[in-house]
Amino acid sequence: MQIKILGCSGGIGGELRTTSMLIDHDILVDAGTGVGDLSMAQLLSIDHIFVTHSHLDHIASIPLLLDTVMGFRTEPITVHANKETLATLRTHIFNWKVWPDFNKIPDEINPFLRYHEIDLGETVTLNGRHFTAVPANHVVPAVGYQIDSGLNSLVFTGDTTECDALWDKVNQIANLKYLIIETAFSNGELELAKLSKHLCPSMLINELGKLDANRFKQPVAVYITHLKPGEGEMIMQEIADSKLSLKIQALNHQQIFNI
């Protein structure tokens, strides 16, 4: 299974793209502005989108993707998310005011957009690829995802702050190879991080202390996502200053993982 990072920034500008991952050729995990870099042929191949939560930087491309490909394919696109996120999409995005309701186009029996509610801990399997919703703690109801090929797993936390339930789950994943976790703010913005339920380096270090490295069959590589524009170097330096034994790197646009 190949995972390509289409976007991993906390903002836009220049080469910065917001959160999205392309799984093989047909699945997205989140659909931020990075989806816009895909070719028409690549867009036409997307069948499923797993959404962590309803914030704009994670869903911005869903409406445009649907509108772009609708006339060129007959099969619907399925959006997988928790109940609250789906309700937000229905009420505030696909409502005919912000964007057409593709859940009723061309009609309610055969819609182009299908919603699939995914519960915490539930696994969706698509051609041998397993997507499990894992706990997250954000200002809106949110999840992360364990992406499991059967050989290895990658965990993407989505947006989160301190969350003991996440680590309880992560420490049970024996085949974990990669962990992608957010750190949106620098230590100087600790109060803002707490208010917005994101992480800063000092909070990240405490959270990574809950990772039980002895439970995994291989060393886990940690990648930092959602860095705010202009603060990436400072945040990564503050993380490096902690001198954690884990291998920690900044996630990069267009980076590829094979699991």
pLDDT tens column, 12-30: 999 999 999 999 999 999 9
Residue 220 exposed, middle or buried by CB count within 10 Å (0-12, 13-18, 19+): buried
Q: Does the pTM of the predicted model rise above 0.85?
A: yes
Task: Please report the pLDDT score of residue 245 as a whole number.
Answer: 82
73 band by pLDDT with thresholds 50, 70 and 90: very high
> Average per-residue pLDDT in the chain?
97
pLDDT digits (tens, 9 = 90+) for 46-66: 999 999 999 999 999 999 999
DSSP string for 99-162:
B--TTSSB-SSSBSEEEEE--TT-EEEETTEEEEEEE---SS--EEEEEE-SS-EEEE--S-S-
Summarize pLDDT for 189-231 with one digit per residue, the tens.
999 999 999 999 999 999 999 999 899 999 999 999 999 999 9
Q: pLDDT tier at 138 (50, 70, 90 boundaries)?
A: very high
How do strand 143-148 and strand 153-156 relate by DSSP bridges?
Answer: antiparallel
Mutual angle of helices 201-208 and 232-240, in 10-degree steps: 40
Superfamily of domain 2-258: Ribonuclease Z/Hydroxyacylglutathione hydrolase-like (3.60.15.10)
